[in-house]
Structure 1
Amino acid sequence: MTVPTDDEPCSMTTALALDADFCALLAGSYLDRVGTPLLDPALARADAARWLYEDAPFCVVAHNTEADPRFVYANRAAQRCFEYDWAEMTTLHSRLSAEQPNREERERLLELVRTRGFISDYRGLRIAKSGRRFWIENATVWNLVDGDGVYRGQAATFREWRDV
C-alpha cells in the first residue's frame, strides 16, 4: 500500500476509502503516537475500514507528503462536514481547507505535528465547499508512519465542529 502522490490521483477505483491496509496505517499510527485506539481493535481489518469510512461518527482526513499536500482520505463524516464528495476531496490540496489568512497558522500546526508526532485539543477555522466557515474543535492531528518507519503523511480526526 502506498499513499498516492500528485502523479497518482485517487479515484474510486484506486480509492483508499475501504482499503484495509490504509485503515491499518491510520489506526496503527494513531495508536503508536497518541496511545489510544482510533477504532475498536476487535473489528476485523475489512470491517474496520468499512466502518471508519462509512459509519464513524467522527471526521477523519489524511493528506500525503507532497510539497503542497493533497487529501488522500476523507471519511463520509468529513465529506459531509467539508461538503465535498470523495472525488472532490481527494483532488483538494489540504491547505485549501483553510482560508488564506488562516493558512499560516495551519502550517505552524502541521510543522509542530511533524516534530512532535501528534497534537491534541487543536482548534482551527476551516471552510467548506459552499464557503461556510466552521471551527473544528478538539482535533487530534498525527503523523502517518508505516511499519518500516516511513513517513506517509498526516491525518486528523475530530468529533466537534460548529459554524461561525
Structure 2
Amino acid sequence: MDLRTDLNFFNLLAGSYARLLGTELVPKHERAEDAVAWLYHDAPFGLLAHNTAEDPVFVYGNRRAQTLFGYDWDEITALASRLSAEAPERSERQAFLDQVTRDGYVTGYRGVRIAKTGRRFWIERATVWQLIDEHGKLHGQAAMIPQTTALPE
C-alpha cells in the first residue's frame, strides 16, 4: 500500500494530531484528496511517521522530510527511524520517544539528526505524537518538523 496518497493513513495522521493537540495539522481543503496531496507534496514542514515494530521503520515521509534527510520515498520508508539520529544521539532520542508514549505528544522538541550524506542538522520546534486511531489502537508515532538549522561541517 502506498501511504503517500492513502486517505485512511492521512485520516490517522491528521485525526490523531487533532485529537491530541486540539488543532488541525492540515489547512482545510474542499476535497480530502487535495488535503492528502498538500501534506505530501506542498507542506512547508517535514512530516515523518514510523510503525510499532520493535525496531520502528518509517512508513511515511513527505517531500519536505525527504529533502531534509536526503532520501527518496523508497529509501526513507525502508529506514529504521533510529538511524535518523547518530549513535550518540539515539539514547536521547529514545528517552524523548518514551515521553511521547507516556504523554501522547510533545511539542517544542529540538534534537540533532543526520541526513543520508552524513550532514548533521538540528530539528527544531518539532511536534511528535502517538498515531492512535479513533478506536484507541496505536499505529506508531509521527513527527512534524517545522524548522531545521544546519550544524557546522
TM class by shorter-chain length?
over 0.9
Deviation at 1:69, TM superposition (A): 0.1
**TM-score where L is the length of structure 2:** 0.96
State yes or no: 1:154 paired with 2:134. no
**TM-score where L is the length of structure 1:** 0.90
> Are the aligned partners of 1:56 and 1:77 in contact in 2 as well (CA < 8 Å)?
yes
Q: Which residue of 2 aligns with 1:78?
A: 65
Q: Which residue of 1 aligns with 2:79?
A: 92
RMSD of the alignment, in Å? 0.8
Query: Where does structure 1 lack aligned partners over 5 or more consecutive residues?
Result: 1-13
Deviation at 1:54, TM superposition (A): 0.6
> Are the aligned partners of 1:19 and 1:49 in contact in 2 as well (CA < 8 Å)?
yes
Aligned residue pairs, count: 151
State yes or no: 1:123 paired with 2:110. yes
State yes or no: 1:27 paired with 2:14. yes
Q: Percent of aligned positions with the same letter in both sequences?
A: 52
> Are the aligned partners of 1:118 and 1:140 in contact in 2 as well (CA < 8 Å)?
yes
State yes or no: 1:135 paired with 2:122. yes
SS in 1 for 2:20: helix
Q: Which residue of 2 aligns with 1:16?
A: 3
Among candidates 31, 39, 43, match of residue 52 of structure 1: 39
Cα separation, 1, equivalents of 2:30 and 2:37: 10
> One-letter code of the match for 2:105?
F
> One-letter code of the match for 2:3?
L
> One-letter code of the match for 2:59?
V
Cα separation, 2, equivalents of 1:43 and 1:50: 12
SS in 2 for 1:41: coil
> Are the aligned partners of 1:142 and 1:154 in contact in 2 as well (CA < 8 Å)?
yes
Deviation at 1:157, TM superposition (A): 0.3
